[in-house]
Structure 1
């Protein structure tokens, strides 16, 4: 007998033996899953694809011989808690379940229409929102880590006029008009180092969704945008950890399985600036503390700042995941964010007199969420959370022997209940209820004049909403329409907010998109005086009272067309947005309107353009935004419209990335026209402290231009430890960009010009390990 025949006979006998073993054990004791799969492959003429670790240590009873293939897959799913994805009639992929039922079905509706939007890890969904996955993040110019709030500023229509993450302007809106959520909890503080570093650890914040328009009705507030950050919500059953440092901070994170049903996620970060003096810290220090009480004191002839200033920040986050059953999940969240500054002010007339000025900024958040998967169609969630923001400052005036205490505190208690029903593969319904109680207090105390002010406002809002998502059978059309109704107890008023997002694929190249929404919000930020909170944090949170601080309401719509073919993306979107109920104190005027309180509105219209070409190993893009943004205040400028303080008429970015194996490089150029400001008139009264001005915002700062470069390289430490080194330079050519100009009078009554500069050339390096 030939070797070939012997081999075939051996295979036949082996198959018969395996099948007999399978047949004999259909109702016997549980068997290793790998053995059962081998037998099933022979019986059903199919092939299973899986990673060995996925099915390791799983035992099941052999299924009944009479089951059809579809019934067999259902049986295996129910007994193993794994996903068996049928590719075709002969191939089945086995994987771990990811958030049973819910996320898999959601992904079918929220189709990704653009992948690698700008860079790897950024995509655009059919409902218009941009999705960022930090674990897959590539590289952007100037960034060596996936800084969340710096990353979103690379998107067309989003920038920061002062380069900070605590002042993100989305299509002409102020920062307080952005709804920032961390695992469903509203956050009132977004930055470290008073705005230069995002306050959210990117290594456990796995998914970020950014919506500029056409927002889902499950979101309230945020008339300009929604930035929804989520930590991992599924059990990995694998230990994952990492740590790293750069020239500003050190951090670490871990995902630790406690059992098959429980996992804990931990992350912590702390600045190293009070231990190590670095060039990066020096640049940040100059940028943040210019034109503040901290820097101005050192220039005062009667007082100086001593050398024992201490500044640091930290954040800690934790999440406990517990699966009670396959259908019942509980999630606990905790987060605290802190910035702290202390410095001594000395009197030159009395060297022994020293008083400590301090500034503390903290955001604490915690919540619990219960998820119930009733069946493969119906899912419900309930979340209860508390978010607290506290800003405290003590400022001593040594010359006048005066102490000023200031405090701004927000307490936000929220309850959210949501139900999602998947009618079929093409239709999904949402419905829910949200309750929020927001308490905002502002305190001010001056010891010399015995002046004390305390204002406390409370607002309770009840919201109900409903929404339908539809995807056509051929996946060419997506539509989401919903309505949200808010009832504000304090004012006994209802606000109805319809929302719409429609996307239609014309052919394999072109897609049309229409987005529209009505929105309102009752929390906002104001600036009473430019030197509030030592001049470092000028903004304080307040609540609408429907008198001098009305409810802010917005209406906006956008129409876009997108071309996507052969890794070439061309996107053009035109929009218009009307916002009513803003106060002049919320806009940061530093001209004739600085101390005036009035109610007004602004209208912004513009276009966002993007062209992105990808060809291995390069990706390059050019984005351009044009906007026309104007105020109208009833009692300012004779009710004549004038330019918004955030009217950046033109903004452009040209950037590119290069990836070669484990090496990544990025280079980018950022340019935008200067923000408007108001010049004083030539003739000033030197006997008065009041400055007379020309027409408001009738002049422009010089154009802003910045070049950034960054690189990262990955390598291995042994078999299980991955490492990465990175280096970046922000503002490579050290261009002196003026980001703000205003005027004051000196002791002789002469007008002096005060200019705030952007961040100068700023190097940074990082090192990370992960296992």
Structure 2
């Protein structure tokens, strides 16, 4: 195109613009008059409100141009909105300075409205109401909205996604806990994962199967982890990295529990139907928890509301079990679980084996030569209750209750002065606890959790010596009240900061009452603890770095004692498939279990709880450091972790000595150095694992003749092998456990007795025979319609009926000679299970 033509086009454009817009400023007219003129000229009708055009004056347009050109001119001069519609009508409105968008927020799964969600524009923001509804003015059509709510994934929505005729329905996806994502899934089997804070999580809703178990026994399950043993095969004596059972903090929905086992330790008291998730921390415990210098085992009930009724009933060789989840409304539901032993109706092979195991070398099994035991009866039950009420999407109340009972009764009979006499002896163990929890989500960054609980434990034994006509009563009672306020604040998507306060009042009462000779000793002690805690969680943007730093301050008012407990957990992923982890903590606890005499409480449950007195029974303190590395690729998982642990303030009474230190009362410490190793491989439906643990644990008691010697729980080597096969309907699991024999102290060879006293070799200088056990379990599921499912299971504990000696001690018999008393592990234990889900 020539330059002359370009100049001509520019001239024409300027000319037309000048003719339309370039009028003299003093020729302005009111817009109302201009509109009347245009209506007459173009035969169009203008509709408007008087307030819209009032006091507006402009230079009138040239009316020789097309109608659309005139309208464009009016839009530019008045900044009003002119909308041409059918039938020659023009609608005139004031121009909005912003664009209004609206929507409804709903949970993607439940379709329930989401309240108090934050909707953030470039310069404006709002929150959703009780219906999940929101309105927001934005500046431009290219503006992006960010929608946030605590517990949900953040979502970004553009203006183009909104419907101009109706409000947009927006679904948000739940995000259970951003900072507790899984870093190692299927750690052992499906349902066991390792989280970023270093803890292990067992999710029983996804749980596969462990060898020898057909029910999800919480405290049996945790013993499958490397570094965790039970030196006598019970859930009431779990030894984590060389610690005693009382050094484990057991929590059921954040209520501290002082009783752990039915059958006095052979099965867990926590009903698997209502216990949905378990968290295990061996080190770097969350700063919101105190106590438990060896581990924290936290059990949780379900936190979700189910819309439909569901439940199950089951029958095994041990008990009858029932569970119901009952929705009361859209905002409330209750869960009820109950379990009762079958021994009232029938004595199964499993019951007989269990009873034989708990009664070994106790007054139930062996009594004085002239006394006969008969009519031995053992019963247990547990009842659990959880009520959940979602007051709103921001407020939630949870109420928990649990009642546990074990009772053993038997008759002692003897012929005295030609007369047959019989009297009943009994042993009972009971726990009852309740807790109230209130959670409040204040906004998408801040929430609080308030809890109050009461837990009570009682161990009671009534025994009569017919020969001596002596009656004795023993009681051990624990009553504890706790209050806790926990705040959680999200500083950003990667940083969370928790703070809180906790108050605990613990009262422990011990009673020993004998009528001949008359003796009564009642000791009741109370200790109150005030605690403050603070903890920060950091996750890098690329999710490869995780750091948790915490500090806890405890004040023990009775002793005017101040205790600081720092905690750290750090893990770093590198080279795509490797993770390095380091953890450390300082902790303390002021309750422990002691043994005054081996025949206390009929010799069955001889450990009694006792409070620290800051003197002969010190406050137990610990420090622990561990570091490890893991490799996870193509269904292979290899982990190795080394640790150092030092626990101070233990007493000889708490360690269960049965040699010349049995009646010595002094305090000391122990050190544990060890390595935990695990290799796991999955092949389609098959999962295989092998674990190995090395432990070197030694005591230090400055006031004993032997200052340093191996711990009673120094199981040097332990190996576990297991495999599971799982399909949709069938689960099979087999495993093998081996470990070094428990430490033992032998009498001196050829110099066993001096002055009716046993002469011992150096303490724990020998070991019992190695422990070996093979277990098997299987479960098959039948689907009976849409809602009904029948599960049939069978298991065998100690399949090869291996006779393992788990404890021994020595005593002088009537001939003045030393004799050995041994305690055997469980023999072969078969079990079957029938469960109907509905």
TM-score by length of structure 1 reads 0.88
Distance 1:187 1:638 in 2: 35
| Partner in structure 1 of residue 559 of structure 2 | 491
For the structure 1 residues 569 and 449, does the alpha-carbon distance in structure 2 shift closer, same or farther, using more than 3 Å as the test?
Answer: same
For the structure 1 residues 87 and 273, does the alpha-carbon distance in structure 2 shift closer, same or farther, using more than 3 Å as the test?
Answer: farther
SS of alignment partner, residue 309 of structure 1: strand
Instruction: Give, in angstroms, the shift of residue 484 of structure 1.
Output: 0.4
Instruction: Give, in angstroms, the shift of residue 216 of structure 1.
Output: 1.0
Note the alpha carbon deviations across 1:246-265, whole angstroms, 9 max, x for none: 10011111111111221111
| Partner in structure 2 of residue 749 of structure 1 | 816
Instruction: Give, in angstroms, the shift of residue 333 of structure 1.
Output: 1.1
For the structure 1 residues 64 and 591, does the alpha-carbon distance in structure 2 shift closer, same or farther, using more than 3 Å as the test?
Answer: closer
Instruction: Give, in angstroms, the shift of residue 94 of structure 1.
Output: 8.4
Residue 535 (structure 2) pairs with residue 467 (structure 1): yes
SS of alignment partner, residue 802 of structure 2: coil
Q: Over the residues paired in the alignment, what is the CA RMSD in angstroms? A: 2.7
Instruction: Give, in angstroms, the shift of residue 660 of structure 1.
Output: 2.5
Q: Is the 8 A contact 1:685 1:749 kept in 2?
A: no
Residue 293 (structure 2) pairs with residue 236 (structure 1): no
Distance 1:93 1:708 in 2: 54
Mapping for residues 112-511 of structure 1, pairs under 5 Å: 112-297=182-367, 300-306=368-374, 308-349=375-416, 352-511=420-579
| Partner in structure 2 of residue 550 of structure 1 | 618
Q: Is the 8 A contact 2:753 2:759 kept in 1?
A: no
Note the alpha carbon deviations across 1:667-726, whole angstroms, 9 max, x for none: 101000001110012345768432111110000000000000000011112221111110
For the structure 1 residues 536 and 70, does the alpha-carbon distance in structure 2 shift closer, same or farther, using more than 3 Å as the test?
Answer: farther
| Partner in structure 1 of residue 8 of structure 2 | none
> Out of 545, 570, 589, which is 1:521 matched to?
589
Instruction: Give, in angstroms, the shift of residue 54 of structure 1.
Output: 4.9
Note the alpha carbon deviations across 1:486-535, whole angstroms, 9 max, x for none: 00001101000100000000121100000000000000000011111000
Higher Cα Rg, which structure: 2
Distance 2:673 2:133 in 1: 65
More displaced 10-residue stretch of structure 1: 83-92 or 226-235: 83-92
Distance 2:326 2:143 in 1: 35
Q: Is the 8 A contact 1:337 1:364 kept in 2?
A: yes
For the structure 1 residues 625 and 214, does the alpha-carbon distance in structure 2 shift closer, same or farther, using more than 3 Å as the test?
Answer: same
Q: Is the 8 A contact 1:121 1:137 kept in 2?
A: yes
For the structure 1 residues 365 and 87, does the alpha-carbon distance in structure 2 shift closer, same or farther, using more than 3 Å as the test?
Answer: same
For the structure 1 residues 654 and 430, does the alpha-carbon distance in structure 2 shift closer, same or farther, using more than 3 Å as the test?
Answer: same
Instruction: Give, in angstroms, the shift of residue 241 of structure 1.
Output: 0.8
Instruction: Give, in angstroms, the shift of residue 61 of structure 1.
Output: 10
Instruction: Give, in angstroms, the shift of residue 233 of structure 1.
Output: 2.0
Q: Is the 8 A contact 2:219 2:268 kept in 1?
A: yes
SS of alignment partner, residue 282 of structure 1: helix
SS of alignment partner, residue 364 of structure 2: helix
| Partner in structure 2 of residue 733 of structure 1 | 800
For the structure 1 residues 686 and 294, does the alpha-carbon distance in structure 2 shift closer, same or farther, using more than 3 Å as the test?
Answer: same
| Partner in structure 1 of residue 70 of structure 2 | none
| Partner in structure 1 of residue 728 of structure 2 | 661
Note the alpha carbon deviations across 1:268-290, whole angstroms, 9 max, x for none: 11111221111111111111111
Distance 1:386 1:83 in 2: 33
> Out of 809, 825, 831, which is 1:758 matched to?
825
Instruction: Give, in angstroms, the shift of residue 326 of structure 1.
Output: 1.8
Distance 1:661 1:183 in 2: 31
Note the alpha carbon deviations across 1:718-755, whole angstroms, 9 max, x for none: 22111111000000000000000100111121111000
More displaced 10-residue stretch of structure 1: 677-686 or 175-184: 677-686
For the structure 1 residues 686 and 175, does the alpha-carbon distance in structure 2 shift closer, same or farther, using more than 3 Å as the test?
Answer: closer
Greater relative contact order: 1 or 2 (C-alpha under 8 angstroms, separation 6 or more)? Answer: 1
Q: Is the 8 A contact 2:155 2:172 kept in 1?
A: no
Q: Is the 8 A contact 1:736 1:758 kept in 2?
A: yes
| Partner in structure 2 of residue 704 of structure 1 | 771
Instruction: Give, in angstroms, the shift of residue 156 of structure 1.
Output: 0.6
SS of alignment partner, residue 222 of structure 2: helix
More displaced 10-residue stretch of structure 1: 559-568 or 233-242: 233-242
Distance 2:836 2:171 in 1: 27
Distance 2:683 2:156 in 1: 29
Which segments of 5 or more consecutive residues in structure 1 lack a partner in the other structure?
Answer: 1-39, 99-103
Distance 1:465 1:72 in 2: 36
Residue 715 (structure 2) pairs with residue 645 (structure 1): no
Note the alpha carbon deviations across 1:167-216, whole angstroms, 9 max, x for none: 00000000000000000110000000111110001121111100000111
For the structure 1 residues 263 and 149, does the alpha-carbon distance in structure 2 shift closer, same or farther, using more than 3 Å as the test?
Answer: same
Mapping for residues 707-722 of structure 1, pairs under 5 Å: 707-722=774-789
Distance 1:760 1:61 in 2: 60
SS of alignment partner, residue 536 of structure 2: strand
Residue 666 (structure 2) pairs with residue 594 (structure 1): no
| Partner in structure 2 of residue 636 of structure 1 | 704
Residue 746 (structure 2) pairs with residue 676 (structure 1): no
For the structure 1 residues 603 and 49, does the alpha-carbon distance in structure 2 shift closer, same or farther, using more than 3 Å as the test?
Answer: closer
> Out of 720, 724, 728, which is 2:791 matched to?
724
Distance 1:235 1:96 in 2: 18
For the structure 1 residues 477 and 62, does the alpha-carbon distance in structure 2 shift closer, same or farther, using more than 3 Å as the test?
Answer: closer
SS of alignment partner, residue 354 of structure 2: helix
SS of alignment partner, residue 637 of structure 1: coil
Distance 2:377 2:170 in 1: 54
Instruction: Give, in angstroms, the shift of residue 73 of structure 1.
Output: 9.0
For the structure 1 residues 96 and 445, does the alpha-carbon distance in structure 2 shift closer, same or farther, using more than 3 Å as the test?
Answer: farther
Instruction: Give, in angstroms, the shift of residue 71 of structure 1.
Output: 8.4
Note the alpha carbon deviations across 1:93-131, whole angstroms, 9 max, x for none: 988986xxxxx3x62111201111111110001111100
For the structure 1 residues 285 and 97, does the alpha-carbon distance in structure 2 shift closer, same or farther, using more than 3 Å as the test?
Answer: farther
SS of alignment partner, residue 243 of structure 1: strand
| Partner in structure 1 of residue 652 of structure 2 | 584
Which segments of 5 or more consecutive residues in structure 2 lack a partner in the other structure?
Answer: 1-100, 114-129, 163-167
Distance 1:435 1:600 in 2: 28
> Out of 108, 117, 125, which is 2:178 matched to?
108
Q: Is the 8 A contact 2:674 2:695 kept in 1?
A: yes
Distance 1:65 1:544 in 2: 60
Distance 2:761 2:151 in 1: 70
Mapping for residues 20-31 of structure 1, pairs under 5 Å: none
> Out of 528, 531, 544, which is 2:599 matched to?
531
Instruction: Give, in angstroms, the shift of residue 141 of structure 1.
Output: 0.5
Q: Is the 8 A contact 2:107 2:172 kept in 1?
A: no
Distance 1:93 1:358 in 2: 65
Distance 2:425 2:700 in 1: 39
Residue-pair matches, total: 711
Distance 1:355 1:540 in 2: 25
For the structure 1 residues 64 and 682, does the alpha-carbon distance in structure 2 shift closer, same or farther, using more than 3 Å as the test?
Answer: closer
Distance 2:393 2:703 in 1: 61
Distance 2:494 2:283 in 1: 23
